[in-house]
Amino acid sequence: MVNLTIDGKEVKVGKTATIYEAAKEAGVHIPVLCYAKKLLPYGACRICLVEVEQMKGRLIPSCTTPATEGMVVTTMSDEIRKVRKTVLEFLLVNHVIECPVCDKGGECDLQDLTYEYEVISNRFEGEKFDLPKDEINPLIERNMNRCVLCGKCARVCDEVVGYGSYSFINRGFETKIATAFDRGLNCEFCGQCVSMCPVGAILPRPFKFKARPWQLKEVNSVCGYCGNGCTVTLGTKDNEVQTIRFNDKTGVNDGNLCIRGRFGASYVNSDKRLTSPLIRKNGELVEASWEEALETVATGLRDAGSSTGILSGARLTNEELFLVKGLAKAVGTGNLDHSGGECYKGVTQGLQETLGLQASTATFPQVENAKAILAIRTDFYETHPVFGMVVNQAVKRNDAQLTVIGDKQGKLTRMPHARTLQHKPGLEVNILNAMCRFLLDEGLAKIDGLQGVEELKVALADYSVDAVAAAAGVDAAAIKQTARELATVENAAILLAYGLPYTANSRELGLAAANLSLLTGIAGRAGSGLYLCGEKSNSQGAIDLQILPAAGALGASGMLKAASEGKLKALYVAAEDMLVSYPDKSLVEKALEKTSFVVVQDIFLSETARKADVVLPAASFAEKSGTVTNAERRIQRLNPGIKSPGQAKSDFAIFQALLSALGATAPADEAAAFAELSAATSGYEMVSLDMVGDQGYVWGSDNLAPEMRNLVAVAGGKAIEAKYQLVVGSSLYHSGTTSLHAKGPMAVVAEPYIEFGREDAAELKVVDGDLVKIKAAGGVISAKAKVDRRLPKGVLFAPYHFGALDLNRIYHGQAAIAVEVSK
């Protein structure tokens, strides 16, 4: 601790604090332009100059100078005022002052400071900047005539995002921020640079000329896409979400967002939203009243009784999921499941058998201090981008060693000194097994208190590092080195993402990852953790609430199978577009066809909804309240920012009405539902709604200790023999099928594609944009080709979000699909 005096106030701060941070702590305001909490100190703008007793004779930049013992700091004097004013005058020499047409006006740091320091004239003269604007991409507009060269954009893109779009080019007055070769911006469009720019030099294009910042109402909610659970602050006006506002005070994400969070919320304003209940009459879906629709649904479900199947998406809130359970009970069926069933259940079952848990054992911020990180699957960044940014910071700031087990290259594998164990598709488990075996053989494993060590040793006989390395095409030394690091460093993390396109070997993966986390001691140790990252915003909540089949009843795949054989009388599908996103489209089609009564509750008329008998219009995340639980077990609140279009109702209200139509009771509101569900959910017993504050509430505390430590042997996969293998996954710009209705993500990736590695592309004479046909058991799909550097020879990739691709005709949940390629 360091003691210092700032403007007469005594302050005590940590050793690493700067003068600026100390002043902030003391409640003393110092103006800044180039400082940002989440970036390393830089000292570019000199607006934060202060006087320090001990360093007389010059002014000291407070944002870069460490606070030292006994310092006496003055933050305002005539001289300071004069110098700051001069700094502003310099900045304004060539700044094109066009505040009336600049969207930053009203929240521009330069504007505010100019006003505060009364810079009404300028003693200096110079030419105004006249640089061309960068308006090539549809999401981010750059106008370097307004830049104050604070470097925040370049720094955030490098330090946090790890993309590295920008740097300063030229010297002196000519200095400017530019992309490589000064071309138009073409990056992952996370918009972090937009949120950092203190002036109007980098702005969100979808919001261009839409409104002034002071006209927007700000509502903090939670991003509706992935399980990262980032806080998004909706800027609303005229009952529309106009833009997403910067907010680094609430939640887990430090103001960081990915393209989906920042530019993907526009689907809530879409005019394609469902606005009225629909009932199928004479083969056509026609608009109907809520009374009629609810009556029809209640009758249908009552008739079907125990042969009803209920499938829920993982984007519903905890409260809504709780009512889903109530609905199943009221109908008298045990056939209940959420998203994809087997993919989620597999992983969680695996963890349950080994650790007695079904959740991450630690929180995201702990990863920043990890020394070794193992990411299973390269797509981890694509599915959980903001968590990926945390990993990037651990690597860049803490020099963490990142290892990726993946069948392709990707953003994570390109991080500094990242090690990639690039294996043949489907062999992740084998590599994890080899690591376990290595730890056991070398005596590095922390086997105290573990059960099943001997059995595991025996079972891993076939998984010697060399054998696995040879079979998977991975460097044996790298496997060993990774295992050694994970077991020996102080803090380590294992990251495992799951989701609908990753249904293969899911239980096996859960088991293998859990085994490794036990042998390395990662599970349950403070500072380390095994992270289980669900694809959807409330995947963890759905697991916690046990949206699972009752004993002896059917899960998702079981229901679909039974339904396809005509054995189910009714299907109730909430917030899922099964026809597009579930493996095996033909099975889903048949199930929908053979089931006499299908209800779909969604916000759009999805492909699945088109096949329904009754469609109920639901509300988006921006329209409802309730709680969701993110991948680190953090319970956070949703807050409504706008009203639902037309007659659409929140899923909560729909279930409520349905329950009372079925003669059951339902909680009066979300708060009452939370009270009930927390009493009934393990881990939530002690949580009350008022504990869920701005930072949410992590159930089970920051580090969750395993209930048991049981090693379970698990068999690895087998690589398939085929010249070309297609792997399925997530694209960075999309999440599930919802983002296909959002303008931002669609502006970047609007169409399905099949990705080829360069070698394959050259051999097949395929270039970007060629139409290619992919033939496999189940059918032929075709899409435009995209050639990139991520894929090894013989491996192709396709994103699963697009219904138009019909990917699930050939994707039935395999790790890799043997395909034939033709043009």
Partner 1 sequence: MFREFAKGLSITLKHLLPGNSTTVDYPKVKLEMSPRFRGLHRLVPTQTREKCVACYLCPTVCPAKCITVESAENEQGEKYPRVYKIDLLRCIFCGYCVEACPVEAIEMSDEYELANYKREDFNFEKERLLR
Which residues of the shown chain bind ligand FES in the complex (CB under 6 A)?
32-35, 43-48, 61, 63
If contact means CB under 5 to 8 A according to the sort of partner, which of ligand FES, partner 1, ligand SF4, none does residue 212 touch? partner 1
Stretch that binds partner 1, among 94-102, 341-349, 513-521, 638-646 (CB under 8 A): 94-102
Cα-trace Rg, the chain: 28
Q: Say how far apart CA 291 and CA 654 lie, in whole Å.
A: 11
Shortest Å distance, C-beta 48 to ligand FES:
3
Shortest Å distance, C-beta 703 to ligand SF4:
22
* Residue (173 or 723) nearer to ligand SF4, CB: 173
* Residue (43 or 332) nearer to ligand FES, CB: 43
Q: How far is CA 180 from CA 133, 448, 759, in A?
A: 16, 53, 26
* Residue (101 or 458) nearer to partner 1, CB: 101
Q: Say how far apart CA 274 and CA 543 lie, in whole Å.
A: 28
List residues bridging with 497 in a β-sheet: 533
Q: Is 252 in the site for ligand SF4 (CB under 6 A)?
A: no
Number of chain residues interacting with partner 1 (CB under 8 A): 12
If contact means CB under 5 to 8 A according to the sort of partner, which of ligand FES, ligand SF4, partner 1, none does residue 45 touch? ligand FES
* Residue (258 or 772) nearer to ligand SF4, CB: 258
CB of 280 closer than 8 Å to CB of 614 = yes
Q: Is 209 in the site for partner 1 (CB under 8 A)?
A: yes
Structure-token pair, residue 507 = 């239980």
Burial of 57 (0-12, 13-18, 19+ CB in 10 A): exposed
β pairing state of 278-281 and 284-287: antiparallel
Q: Say how far apart CA 459 and CA 479 lie, in whole Å.
A: 19
Q: Is 131 in the site for partner 1 (CB under 8 A)?
A: no
If contact means CB under 5 to 8 A according to the sort of partner, which of ligand SF4, ligand FES, partner 1, none does residue 63 touch? ligand FES
Structure-token pair, residue 819 = 């395909």
Q: Is 212 in the site for partner 1 (CB under 8 A)?
A: yes
Shortest Å distance, C-beta 365 to ligand FES:
25
Positive/negative CA dihedral, 52, 54, 59, 65 = negative
Shortest Å distance, C-beta 186 to ligand SF4:
8
CB of 314 closer than 8 Å to CB of 738 = no
Q: Is 550 in the site for partner 1 (CB under 8 A)?
A: no
What is the DSSP secondary-structure string of 294-321? HHHHHHHHHHHGGGEEEEE-TTS-HHHH
Stretch that binds partner 1, among 116-124, 150-158, 202-210, 305-313 (CB under 8 A): 202-210
Q: Is 803 in the site for ligand SF4 (CB under 6 A)?
A: no
Shortest Å distance, C-beta 112 to ligand SF4:
9
* Residue (210 or 594) nearer to partner 1, CB: 210
Structure-token pair, residue 51 = 């006087």
If contact means CB under 5 to 8 A according to the sort of partner, which of ligand FES, ligand SF4, partner 1, none does residue 210 touch? partner 1
Q: Is 399 in the site for ligand SF4 (CB under 6 A)?
A: no
Helix spans in 289-425 (H): 290-304, 318-331, 342-355, 380-383, 385-398
Maximum C-alpha span of the chain? 88
In the list 1, 16, 101, 127, the residue contacting partner 1 (rule: CB under 8 A) is: 101
- The DSSP letter of residue 817 is E
Beta-strand ranges (E) seen in 378-497 are 401-406, 419-422, 492-497
Q: Is 201 in the site for ligand SF4 (CB under 6 A)?
A: yes
- Kind and range of the H or E element at 245? strand 240-245
* Residue (19 or 504) nearer to ligand FES, CB: 19
Q: Is 478 in the site for partner 1 (CB under 8 A)?
A: no
Kindly tell me the number of DSSP H helices and DSSP E strands found in the chain. 25, 33
If contact means CB under 5 to 8 A according to the sort of partner, which of ligand FES, partner 1, ligand SF4, none does residue 169 touch? none
In the list 16, 56, 69, 100, the residue contacting partner 1 (rule: CB under 8 A) is: 100
Q: Is 99 in the site for partner 1 (CB under 8 A)?
A: yes
Shortest Å distance, C-beta 208 to partner 1:
6
CB of 340 closer than 8 Å to CB of 559 = no
Q: Is 105 in the site for partner 1 (CB under 8 A)?
A: yes
If contact means CB under 5 to 8 A according to the sort of partner, which of partner 1, ligand FES, ligand SF4, none does residue 214 touch? partner 1
Nearest Cα neighbor of 607 from 315, 783, 802, 754 is: 802
Shortest Å distance, C-beta 87 to ligand FES:
9
List residues bridging with 219 in a β-sheet: 234
The contacts of residue 310 (CB under 8 Å, 6+ apart) are 324, 327, 328, 331, 333, 335, 336, 337, 571, 572, 574
Shortest Å distance, C-beta 291 to partner 1:
38
Q: Is 808 in the site for ligand SF4 (CB under 6 A)?
A: no
Q: Which of residues 650-669 bind partner 1 (CB under 8 A)?
A: none
Edge-to-edge order in the sheet of strand 217-222 = 217-222, 231-237, 240-245
Shortest Å distance, C-beta 80 to ligand FES:
13
Q: Which of residues 161-200 bind ligand SF4 (CB under 6 A)?
A: 161, 163, 165, 177, 185, 187-193, 196-200
Q: How far is CA 812 from CA 125, 545, 728, 776, in A?
A: 68, 27, 10, 11
Q: Is 153 in the site for ligand SF4 (CB under 6 A)?
A: yes
Q: How much helix, strand and coil, in percent to the nearest 5, is found in the chain? A: 35, 20, 45
- Tell me the residue number closest to ligand SF4, measured at CB: 261
- The DSSP letter of residue 175 is -
Binding site for ligand SF4 (CB under 6 A): 95, 97-100, 102, 104-105, 108, 110-111, 140, 146-153, 156-157, 161, 163, 165, 177, 185, 187-193, 196-202, 223, 225-226, 228-230, 253, 257-258, 260-261, 384-386, 735
Residues that bind partner 1 (CB under 8 A): 99-101, 105, 135, 208-212, 214-215
